[in-house]
Amino acid sequence: MKPYLVLIAGILFGAIIGWFAFPAILYHSSDQPLHFSHNTHTGESGGMACTDCHTTNETGRFQGIPSVIKCAECHASPIGESVSEKQLVEHYITPNVEIPWLVYSRQPDNAYFPHAAHVTLGKMKCEDCHGPHGSSDTLRIHYTNRISGYSRDVWGANISGFSSNRWEGMKMDKCVRCHGDNNRRDGCVSCHK
Amino acid sequence: MDTTVEKKYKFGMVINLDKCNGCGACAVACAIENNVPPAVQKMNKRNGLTWLTISTVSNNEQYPQSETVFVPMFCQQCEKETPCMTVCPQNAVDVDPTTGIVGQVPQRCLGCRYCMTACPYHARYFNWWDPEWTDGMKQQLNPDVAPRMRGVVEKCNFCHSRLHSAKDKAATLGNREINPADYIPACVESCPNKAITFGDLNDTTAPITSLASNSNSFRFLSRLGTEPKVYYHSKKHWVRAMAEKAQTRSRQADGIAEEEFHG
Amino acid sequence: MVPWVYEFHWTAFHVTFLLIFFTVFVTVAATIIIALRRTQQDEQQHRMESIQWHSDFEDLAPAMKVCRHELNGDVQHRVCDNEFDCRSCTLHPVFSARKKKGSLLQYEVYGFSMPPYRLYHRGHTWVQQEDDGTFKVGIDDFGSRIIGRPHSIELPPIGSHLSVNGRGILVRRSDSTIRLLSPIDGEVIGHGNSEKGWYLKVRADNPERATTHLLKAEEVPNWILREMERLQFSFATSGVGATLADGGELVPDFHKHFPKADWDSVLGQMFLEA
Amino acid sequence: MDKLLIPRGLQRTTFEKFLLWIIPWLALLAVGAYAIYLCLAEGLFHTNMDNRFAFGIWIFLDLTVIALGAGAFFTGFLLYILRRKELKAVINSAVVIGLICYSGAVLVLMVDVGQPLRAWFTFWHPNTHSMLTEVTFCLTCYLIVLLIEYVPIVLKNRQLRQIPKFLVFEFELHKLMPVFAGIGTFLSFFHQGSLGGLFGVLRGRPFAFREELGIWPSTFFLFVISAAAAGPSFVMLTTTLVEKITRKRLVKDEVYRFLGKVSGCMLIIYVLLKSIDTLIWINSTSPGNGFPAFEFYATQSFGTWILFTEIVVLGLIPALVLLSSRLRQNKRYLFGAGFLVCSGIMLNRFVMTIQTLALPTLPFDNFLTYAPSWEEVAAFAFVIAYGVILYSLTFRYSVIFPQERELGQTNGELSMREFAQSRSVFKQPKFVTRLIDTFSSTK
């Protein structure tokens, strides 16, 4: 009987290490430089759309996180009472310093993702890939993989690699599955650069 | 979801050897476009990194009959039985079904160099050294092309980043098909003599299609049956005969192209 | 594994490839598991001793595996293939049925005391049947002389079970440890010590057949002769150089007279241990 | 301490002498380890290979070593599947040599690919059309099988066998050895073959390209058969080399002769098929690709003599010698022919790798030469040193040759005479005196 107990205990121990200790060691966590609420901007009071700030330029290139100039359009001086807004104006807008945002969805160097093809031609919504990020009140903690330097969002929050929501994880498998489902035929260099 | 089947392109090139003067602008443009790292001190012609080499071939006649052509050589984008693709043990090489471009993913590459052995054009290159850029050069890296690491194979992919850009531009306008004017590889663009014609070989109206089927156009090692998509063009008979015929070769001390040839 | 490959489509070729790969993999894994499982079973069913003997016997040179019927002249030449266990040998009854020439019973064989009322085992132990039906087991004269004075002797405890060719007695010397093979199946019922050394009392499992496999007096002279040859060669291979003659008397303790010999090796070979 | 590890009844040299033998090899191992470090840490430019000569001597030596290591699978096949009991005398040796050759080849492979840490990609994203995938899968599996086959040899060590569990496991594993021999044969068939296919499929290299038979090019089958021919010869040569170095008889002569005969049989089949293949290639395959075959031999260093040497001098001649039972009796012929067989297979692998790469394909290209750097040579010396050390340790502390005890006891004719004499001596009652006398007089 005993060897089996040892075996079960060993498996349990390994599972605990793998499930909790391993991600804690693998990822480095850091807070965003500034508190930001998407909901304030996109909700009833703000009424903005994603594309009001996150735009593509005329050549189709996605511009990513807007620069402080974009923020300054409304927040040249504080319009509310919040501490973070005051910080934004004082530390970034007035001295015209870019905010060192940590990007959740930054892909590895060799991945090429055209937003225009997916949004304009493919008629996909931002939420399809980014989830309900646009209606969040706070910015999540940013996890960086200590080995690869990638954001944890690339692998997904679930350490086993399974995800219940479509926007969790941005691995190649996901791209390929969706392309396959939609009869897209691609070569490697269609999405790699 | 949109399930429109994409247009099938077949990108190719025709290089007019009679126009090429061997200036090397294409090779420089290629290196800059594709983030090919600069040579390190110990590099030589044989283990350096280039995606495009230019060989000198002469007819070995006495003056005034002596003639020389310059042959730019790079990945010939074999269409059939692509030698490098079938041999790669881990699918790091593929032929894009929508463009016919032979792609190489360095991040998947093991560095076994079997594809280099398989390539009859010697158009694949291995990173024998760690790539090193000076700080100034780092600023100039092309953000659309991922730099490669040491120990992997790389090669010409018809400036794929430019195809990405062209597709992006078309998509912004709501188009599925690219504007041919938006997709021109760096070597084609930089050639001062306009010796290289680039385009879609499936497009019967494109200038390349008629040029490729011209009787003065030929492909190297066409008898191997790999259907390369890079054509060469010359009005000179001896050049076309040189390409057709395997030659009796003699060993020479230097590895580059001076060749005994009687046209 | 292949479904990870993008643009992958199943073909007969893939199915074959994967089938072959996983068959190989599973076969290798299964074979190792079977080997481990059998090891466990052997351990539970106490087959360790017989396997050890099997392995030792396998490593013996053919010259060491002479059949007893070659010793008594029944056959010109035969190498034992049954691990010195005549009880299960198919040829032993055939040879035994042949008519024997009567041979002279000697108490002393080439200077060794080998009483004919005892039966001998190849590992230099003897068995003697007592009037009460039990058996006495001891080490023979040849064996005790090459062992010399042991450091200690470890007898199997009373009540323990011996099996033929299994480990019987453990003899320790300063330079070597030797296990003596048990000549008989049975339960140890007593230890004894006479002026000639120690012995065991054993109640045999099957008194009828308990001694079938042991050497009888008529086989002993030839056996001892071969053992002497073997001894000489084991000295030769153990690299002993020239040794002194001690005169014409029998030497009770060989060990003293060949101190330079590789006794560990000599004893291992003489007591059939690899 | 050392003494208690050496198998009983086997003569081994003193520990000091053994150290003296091992130390130079350890030194070589250290040099090789440094070279390997340079290649792995700084880059493969240390090897002198280049974009044209993308495969260097490492692939040539890998192919050679794996062909020579084929003794392990072929001896196993003959012993366990075809039940040729006489090969029991050399099976352990064949397994150890096979293990050394295969693990060495994999080691060199890991040094000479650009990104060894990505080797697992082949298992995760395999391209089932690539010969290298077949090689990788089979090589990995077979290396595991060889390690399993090596376990019983290690467990036979005198101290390890004292642990009853080990001994019983060894016994049970040994009983199942035919399974591993069968799997080993199966895997070897495929990877030896695909190593040949490696070059045979190169459409872009008309010198190496061969027509397909089924799904494999003809070189697939030629490599399998030639490896089966080289394996037994190499086992024969290494065993006699060990005999020479240790000054002992380890294996009976008839075993050598049997190995020679097996090698000869396989070689004659190989020579026949190779000749047919060469003729088809000269007359059809090569010209079909636009390359008249004899132009490949028009350069100075690789003339047609190389083809003649490969097929006749190092193929037909040793095959005929090994097939003649009269010539096999003569050890000089037997080992000489064995040496020629191994050299022939080496030359074949050389031609397939180095010559293929040296010959130009483009009409304006040149014949290429290449000299390996010291780092590349040292990396291979590492494998040789590792092999010698592993073999020496196994030989010293385990039983590689089961006949050694027996042959050690009847050491040559002289001993037989002594044996006869001693018989009569022992008939005297006061034998101990005589025993001692015999010792005094013969030594």
**For C191-215, how does the pLDDT look when each residue is reduced to its tens digit (9 = 90+)?**
887 766 788 899 988 888 888 889 8
Q: pLDDT tens across A77-123, in order?
A: 888 888 888 889 989 999 989 999 999 988 888 899 999 889 888 88
Cross-chain Cβ contact B97/A186 below 8 Å: yes
Whether the Cβ atoms of residue D167 and residue C55 lie closer than 8 Å to each other? yes
Which chain D residue lies closest to B258 (C-alpha atoms)?
Answer: D364
What tens digit of pLDDT does each residue of C103-121 get? 667 788 877 888 888 999 9
C7 and A185 in contact by Cβ < 8 A?
yes
- Determine which of C18, C231, C232, C254 to mutate to test the interface with D (most D C-beta atoms within 10 Å): C232
Using an 8 Å CB-CB cutoff, list chain D residues near B126.
Answer: 44, 51, 54, 114
Q: Report the CATH fold assignment for D2-409.
A: Formate dehydrogenase/DMSO reductase fold (1.20.1630)
pLDDT level of residue B258 (50, 70, 90 thresholds) = very low
What is the pLDDT, as a whole number, of residue C150? 81
Separation of alpha carbons B78 and B76, rounded Å? 6
What CATH number is associated with residue C143? Answer: 2.40.50.100
* pLDDT digits 0-9 by tens, D76-130: 999 999 999 999 999 999 999 999 999 999 999 999 999 999 999 998 888 888 9
**D189 CB-near residues (< 8 Å, 6+ apart):** D224
Residue D388's alpha-carbon distances to B42, D23, D99, D237, in angstroms, are 36, 11, 12, 14
C140 and C126 Cβ atoms separated by less than 8 Å:
yes
* Residues C208 and C117 both lie in one domain: yes
Computed from CA positions of residues A62, A65, A69, A73, in that sequence, does the dihedral angle turn out positive or negative? positive
Q: In this predicted structure, what is the pLDDT of residue D322?
A: 95
pLDDT at B6 over 80: no
Shortest alpha-carbon distance between residue C269 and chain D (Å) = 6
Domain membership flag for residue C2: no
Helix axes D177-200, D57-68, angle to 10 degrees: 150
Q: Do chains D and A touch (3 or more CB pairs under 8 A)?
A: no
What domains lie within chain B, and their CATH numbers? 11-244 (3.30.70.20)
> Is the per-residue pLDDT at D380 higher than 70?
yes
pLDDT digits (tens, 9 = 90+) for C43-99: 888 888 888 888 888 888 777 788 888 888 788 888 888 888 888 888 888 888 876
Rounded to the nearest 10 degrees, the angle between the axes of helix D374-397 and helix D15-42 is: 150
Residues 5-64 of C with CB under 8 A from A: 6-7
**CA of C5 vs chain B CAs: smallest distance (Å):** 8
d(CA C21, CA D327): 44
Q: Per the structure block, which two tokens stand in for D238?
A: 């290494």
Q: With beta carbons under 8 A apart, name residues in chain C contacting B94.
A: 7
Nearest to D113 among B46, B87, B112 (CB): B112
CA distance B263 to chain D (A): 12
Q: How many domains does chain C have?
A: 2
- For chain C, the three-class secondary structure string (H helix, E strand, C coil) is CHHHCCCCCCCHHHHHHHHHHHHHHHHHHHHHHHHHHHHHHHHHCCCHHHHHHHHHHHHCCHHHHECHHHHCCCCCCCECCCCCCHHHCCCHHHHHHCCCCCCCCCCEECCEECCCCCEEECCCEEEEECCCCCEEEEECHHHHHHHCCCCEEECCCCCCEECCCCEEEEEECCCCEEEEECCCCEEEEEEEEECCEEEEEEEECCCCCCCCCCECHHHHHHHHHHHHHHHHHHHHHCCCCCCCCCCCCCCCCHHHHCCCCCHHHHHHHHCCCC
Task: Name every chain D residue with its beta carbon within 8 A of the beta carbon of C249.
Answer: 430, 433
Contact A185 C6 (CB under 8 A): no
**pLDDT > 90: percent of chain D:** 68
- If you average pLDDT over residues D287-310, what whole number do you get? 85
Is residue D276 less than 8 Å (CB to CB) from chain B? no
Q: Which of C62, C223, C87 is nearest to C163 (CA)?
A: C87
Residue B42, pLDDT above cutoff 90: no
Examine the pLDDT at B245 and tell me if it is beyond 90: no
Q: Do A103 and B158 meet the contact criterion of CB atoms below 8 Å apart? A: no
CB B69 within 8 A of CB B57: yes
50-89 of B, contacting C, C-beta below 8 A: none
Q: Is there a domain that residue A116 lies in?
A: yes
Question: What residues have CB less than 8 Å from D148, skipping those under 6 apart?
Answer: C28, C32, D173, D180
Structure confidence by residue, pLDDT tens digits, D311-349: 999 999 999 999 999 999 999 999 999 999 999 999 999
The pLDDT confidence band at residue C100, using thresholds 50, 70 and 90, is: low
Would you say residue C26 lies in a domain? yes
* C-alpha torsion sign, points D48, D54, D57, D61: positive
Q: Which of B99, B171, B176 sits opposite A187 (nearest CB)?
A: B99
Which chains sit next to C, with 3 or more Cβ pairs under 8 A? Answer: A, B, D
Strand boundaries in chain B, DSSP class E: 11-16, 53-58, 68-73, 93-95, 102-104, 124-126, 153-155, 196-200, 217-218, 230-233
Domain positions in chain D: 2-409, 415-443
> What was the pLDDT predicted at D424?
40
Asked if residue C66 is part of any domain, the answer here is no
Instruction: Compute the distance between CA of residue C227 and CA of residue C233 in angstroms, rounded to an integer.
Output: 10
Q: What is d(CA B219, CA B217) in angstroms, rounded to the nearest whole number?
A: 7
- B91 to chain C: which residues are within 8 Å by CB? 5-6
Please give the interface size between A and B, counted as residue pairs whose CB atoms are below 8 Å apart: 95
Report how far residue D224's alpha carbon sits from residue D192's, in angstroms, rounded to the nearest whole number. Answer: 5
Reported as a single tens digit per residue, the pLDDT across A17-53 is 988 899 899 999 999 999 999 998 988 878 888 888 9
Please give the average per-residue pLDDT across C20-29, as a whole number. 91
Any alpha helices (H) in D247-350, and if so which ranges? 253-280, 286-288, 305-308, 317-323, 325-329, 331-350
Does C5 contact chain B (CB < 8 Å)?
yes
Q: Is D118 on the interface with B (CB under 8 A)?
A: yes
- pLDDT score of C102: 62
Q: Does B107 touch chain C (CB under 8 A)?
A: no
Chain A contact for C249 (CB, 8 A cutoff): no
Contact C28 D399 (CB under 8 A): no
Question: In chain A, which residues touch C (CB < 8 A)?
Answer: 172-173, 176, 185
The per-residue pLDDT of chain C, averaged, comes to 81
Residues of C in contact with A185 (CB under 8 A): 7
Distance CA C14, CA B255 (A): 43
Nearest Cα to Cα of residue D368 among D43, D50, D60? D50
In a shared domain, residues C37 and C150: no
Q: What is the pLDDT of residues D148-165, one digit of tens each?
A: 999 999 998 988 988 888
* Bridge partners, D213 (sequence order): D216
| Chain A neighbors of B170, CB-CB under 8 A | 60
Q: What percent of chain D has pLDDT over 70?
A: 92
Range of the domain at C205: 108-241+252-270
On average, the pLDDT of chain D sits at 88
From chain A, pick out residues whose CB is under 8 angstroms from the CB of B96: 186-190
Query: Could you tell me which chain D residue has the CA closest to the CA of B70?
Result: D364
Q: Say how far apart CA D102 and CA D86 lie, in whole Å.
A: 25
Closest to D8 (Cβ–Cβ): which among C63, C243, C274?
A: C274
Q: Which chain B residues are within 8 Å of C6, Cβ to Cβ?
A: 91
**Domain residue limits at A181:** 25-32+102-193
Phi, psi values for residue D432, rounded to 5°: -60, -40
Strands C119-121 and C177-181: unpaired
Low-confidence winner among A57-66, C135-144, D316-325 (lowest mean pLDDT) = A57-66
Phi and psi at residue C137, to the nearest 5°: -125, 135
- From residue A181, alpha-carbon distances to A127, B6, C2, C155 in Å are 19, 14, 18, 78
Beta partners for residue B197, in sequence order: B14
| Band of residue D75 on the pLDDT scale cut at 50, 70, 90 | very high
Q: What is residue B261's predicted lDDT score, i.e. its pLDDT?
A: 37
Report the amino acid identity of residue D407: L
Q: How many CB pairs under 8 A join B and C?
A: 3
Instruction: Check residue B250 and give its pLDDT.
Output: 37
Specify if A141 maps to a domain.
yes
Q: Look at residue C68 and tell me if it is in a domain.
A: no
At A106, phi and psi to the nearest 5?
-70, 130
Concatenate the DSSP letters of all residues of D223-247 into one string.
HHHHHHHHHHHHHHHHHHHHHHHHT
Quick check: helix, strand or coil at residue B37?
A: coil
**Angstrom distance (rounded) from CA B160 to CA B95:** 13
CA C116 to chain D, closest CA, distance in angstroms equals 18
Whether residue C147 lies inside any domain: the answer is: yes
Q: Tell me which of C40 and C273 has the higher pLDDT.
A: C40
Question: What is the per-residue pLDDT across B170-181, written as a single tens digit (0 to 9) for each?
Answer: 998 888 899 999
b/e map B16-50, b = 16+ CB within 10 Å: bbeebeeeebbbbbbbebbbbbebbeeeeebbbbb
Residue C18 lies in a domain: yes
Q: Is A44 on the interface with B (CB under 8 A)?
A: no
Indicate the pairing of strand C125-129 with strand C135-139. antiparallel
Q: How close A132 comes to chain C (CA, Å)?
A: 29
| Residue C98 CB neighbours (<10 A) | 10
Confidence (pLDDT) at D409: 58
Instruction: Report pLDDT for C210.
Output: 82
Phi, psi (degrees; rounded to nearest 5) at C81: -120, 15
Give contacts of A 164-183 with B, CB under 8 A. Answer: 181-183
| Residues B167-195, mean pLDDT to the nearest whole number | 93
Query: How confident is the model over D306-320, as pLDDT tens digits?
Result: 999 999 999 999 999
Collapsing DSSP states into helix, strand and coil, what is residue B15? strand
Helix (H, G, I), strand (E, B) or coil at A145: strand
Q: How many CB atoms lie within 10 A of CB A102?
A: 17
Interface test with C, best of D436, D438, D442, D443 (most C CBs within 10 A): D436
Q: Which residues of C touch D165 (CB under 8 A)?
A: 39, 43
**Minimal Cα–Cα distance from D116 to chain B, Å?**
7
Q: How many percent of chain B have pLDDT more than 90?
A: 69
Judged by a CB distance cut-off of 8 A, whether residue B91 touches chain C is yes
Does C62 map to a domain?
no
Residues of A in contact with C7 (CB under 8 A): 185
